[in-house]
A and B are shown apart, each in its own frame.
Chain A
Amino acid sequence: MLLQMEGITKRYGSLIANDRVDFSLQEGEVHALVGENGAGKSTLMRILYGEEQPSEGRIIVGGRERVFATPSDAIAAGIGMVHQHFMLFPSFTVAENIVIGREPKAGVKFDRKAAAEHVKTLSEKFGMPVDPWAKVADCPVGVQQRIEILKVLNQGAKIIILDEPTGALTPLEVEWLLKAIKRLAKQGISFILISHKLNEVLGSADRITVLRDGKVIGSVKASDTDAAALSRMMVGRELAKFERKPVVPGEAILTVDNVTVLGDRGTKPLLDRVSLTVRAGEIVGIAGVSGNGQSELLQVVSGLRRVHSGKVTLGGKDVTGLSAGEFRRAGLAHIPEDRYLWGSAKEESVADNAIMGHLASLSKGGILRKRLIREKVARWIDAFRVKTGSLETKAKHLSGGNMQKLIVAREMAHGTPFVIAAEPTRGVDIGAMETIHEALLKRRDEGGAILLVSSELSEILKLSDRILVLYEGRVAGELSAGDATEEKISFLMAGGSGNETH
């Protein structure tokens, strides 16, 4: 056994994040760790990586008991971790990011050329192509992930922890990553993989351990189980089934007409004459490899970015060039792409985070109605089962999945005719995912118009009535729910021309 964690317990005050957890890993094994939001997965891994100290329990690596006081200790013992939020230096080059800590030297000088060459050999050895001289800020998320893994490999890691590595990746990138993991496992590298996506886990892991409320519920071989059994173990109950009722779309709620957005440096347009319509009672899904204009489109239809030409109407009103506030008044709710960048203020309370955009209904004469706020927010939190200490808890103390639920609750509470749902279930567990999907479909059934952007093709396929694919800032094709398959979408996403071009 390469690694054994025995009886790990971690307490935060009265909260027990890990409760006598046993966990093991063999050489060349891919061991997946699954569980609901807040089950204690990240905590366990932070303990292994020396970022946290266990309250009880011991860690044995290669037959020897170890104490990891800092990440450096863990790195020295051959353990590497790829955090969910990448730990990269955006303004540095790829090579610099990979070799940092083990830089090749020429005297006192940092030999950047040698670093680039080293990275090149490394990337060839592990079959993970990167451009050593590119700036990390300019790399797509999938490549950034690759850089993280290469960095860890370069540190000589034999055990690599991946905390929700696929959350922000496109399907192609995910597929590529999972293949790479398998290949590396054959080369003798062991992986611990945290994920909420059971199909990924089932497809790539050798063994799966399920955590619930900090305890190990069970550890099974991937070949001996299936998604249904796993989710039962995770959630501890059967998931509700839902159905998508047929709805006849009504009038157009959002129209985007021939919109162009130019790049900052006057380079090629980020959005190039994009047109689309979302009608009452339909969910329009936008698919595309990230960096092809989804973010810009989202910003345009939420009033956060100016268009250079073209027109946007919302609820029959021309909102082109208006502010985000005006968009919201015209009937917009918006689940943002990045919950921390746009969707929340980490240092503020849960209540303050929950009322953004609701001020008009929660105030009177410019004064906030505190009691009403407490009642309302408490109701939203209940409805989406957001786990939080209190309404005064700072938002940063919520686990990522719970933050996401809070945002969805806030935006759905607007009851607006138009909803943008960008990556609505990123990082949430399957139970919460069902709740969110149900809420979106319910809104659609009630006549809401929903623009769904997701890098998760299964989500797009499951929810959308129509699907548009963005490629290089243009609408590369449109598919109806009936016709759409993963293959067709993937083909369009890769730049192939569709059969129903716009």
Chain B
Amino acid sequence: GGNNANKPDDAAKSGGNTATAEGPKKRVALVTPEKIGVNQFFTQMVEGLEKAGSEFNLETKVIESTDPTQVEQNLRAAVAEKYDLIITAAFSAADALKKVAAENPNQSFAIIDTVVDAPNVRSIEFREHEAAYLLGAAAGLSTKTGKVGAVVAMDVPLLSKYTSGFEQGLKSVKPDATLLINYVGSFTDPAKAKELALLQHSKGADFIAGFSAVGDSGVFEAAKEKGFYTSGQDTDRTVEDPEHVVLSQLKETDTVTYETAKDFAQGNFTFGSVSYGLKENGVGLTFVTADSPSPLSPFIGQENVDKLKKIRDDILSGAIVVKNPLAP
């Protein structure tokens, strides 16, 4: 589709590379279980893949599925097209991958953000709860009112990694803080997300974290209108409005995809399960684990950032253990 890496200019670039490379180009396909767009996660994967493609002379291809039921068909089509590596993502692709991987034992696969236990699959997981913990701690350290909000897309187990981590972090620094959680009921409803943020603000929350996918933009608007503070997800969203969007919880799906493709290109690819947390720099928090082009908001303050860095170190050292709500 439209996200294909082989746009004419890319092709020209990689064509230039081919001259220097030896042998045929390795081919990598990315099959997403849903349309790219709403979930930032997939957009970043595409970016990571394309970057790896141009740096390591890979032929890359993105195949979007309209819905998860199409994944199996797309995986099989990718196998038939003889891609050297097929990457997919999310739990909704897991069942299909299990099937297709078992049927094609000589084909290499990778799946991001969930685990598929098969000899020819590399699984990459994230420990988002660690980053959420940091975000929660940041909220706890910075709040003036002692009330903190979270606007969450849906009440589903996957997102409890975020809410639970957030709450653990918040309570660790401010045990008496009040956490208001509201669910939008959709990944694509900024109007409702904004309404919920306004509601939480009217109840006294001065920091409201957005966990509502596209809805986060609604939370940001509410913050701008009412002058409270908020945070975004996945990428550094502080750049959009550093005054109000004061933090962003990072999830480096682009890096992870990039590295997967890179390993493959360089022959370092291994199967099995890998987990990315704070330690591996797979997840993080702006200002604390990664620099940001935005100015640091006085609401957070350098002092708190230093404290947060300390907390991060404690997590890394194991002094603080963040509970994963999904762990058995």
| A–B contact via C-beta, under 8 angstroms | no
Chain B positions near chain A (C-beta within 8 angstroms): none
